[in-house]
Amino acid sequence: MKLSSEHVALITGASRGIGKAVAIRLGLAGARVVVNYNSGKSEATEVVNIINANGGEAISLGADIRDEDQVLAMFQQIIKLWGRIDVLVNNAGIRKDKLLMRMTTAEWDSVIDTNLKGAYICSKTALAHMVRQRRGRIINMSSVIGLSGNPGQANYAASKSGLIGLTKTIAREVATRNVTVNAVAPGYIMTNMVEDLADDLKDLVKSRIPMNRFGSPDDVAGLVVFLSTDDASYITGQIIGVDGGLAI
């Protein structure tokens, strides 16, 4: 799967985990890559160095995606440097788990603002360019939790379910402009979020996955790269699970 070297891809929250894997794979596929970060500047620089060392072209840009002014400034830098934006991966996300009865409004708002509002701001900004180009790909990082819900994760589940509705709606709005919008719904992927689980909980979760293993960030990244290419030009408004069969 290849992308033109003219194609520019922005991945939010790309300094680690799934975002890091997506950025590297898109760079290897030929795209010029923007590694967005909020606080992980050194980690983002490492991702850029990996891409550049493998013959790609990448830069890192810091921006809090919850802040519309910062997002606009980031896109202005991208357009000034490379003149276009072809792929947006709304990957940035956080968790603040707690039973709903004990969850504070601040904990609710922070997760919704990052996971859902951030995707709204970035998508709206990117579409202004993609529609003019008559070419674009938006991939939203939802979650299996957004499909099923999970005790203690009301804010996270609501944000990831919201991304599904956002995906389907934007897909309908821009389908005639050669802009596709899809969502990926990972299951339990070996990132910090899973690695931090207690061993007995890991065993319990794994026993519920038909493939009896956790996924890797590369399992998700491969799908994102495909959805970014012209091979996926007739796929839009879809929610695609990468979960080892967990949602069956």
User: pLDDT (tens digit, 9 = 90+) per residue, 170-221?
Assistant: 999 999 999 999 999 999 999 887 787 788 888 898 999 999 999 999 999 9
Q: What is the value of pTM for the model shown?
A: 0.96
Residue 159 pLDDT? 98
Token reading at 213: 């293993």
| Parallel/antiparallel/unpaired status of strands 32-37 and 136-141 | unpaired
Residue 39: CB partners within 8 Å, gap ≥ 6? none
What amino acid occupies position 140?
N
CA distances from 159 to 116, 117, 139 (A): 5, 9, 15
Token reading at 189: 């992927």
Residue 112 pLDDT? 98
Residue 32: CB partners within 8 Å, gap ≥ 6? 5, 6, 7, 8, 9, 56, 57, 58, 82
Residue 154 pLDDT? 98
Q: Give the containing element (helix H, strand E) for 111.
A: helix 105-112
* Ordered domains of the chain (ranges, CATH): 8-187+217-239 (3.40.50.720)
Residue 72: Cβ-neighbour burial (10 angstroms; 0-12, 13-18, 19+): middle
Residue 194 pLDDT? 79
Q: Which residues are catalytic?
A: 156
Residue 201 pLDDT? 84
Residue 183 pLDDT? 98
| Residue keyed to tokens 């975002």 | 19
| Residue keyed to tokens 């990972």 | 186
Each of the 248 residues of the chain gets a pLDDT tens digit; together they read: 788 888 999 999 999 999 999 999 999 999 999 999 999 999 999 999 999 999 999 999 999 999 999 999 999 999 999 999 999 999 999 999 999 999 999 999 999 999 999 999 999 999 999 999 999 999 999 999 999 999 999 999 999 999 999 999 999 999 999 999 999 999 999 988 778 778 888 889 899 999 999 999 999 999 999 999 999 999 999 999 999 999 98
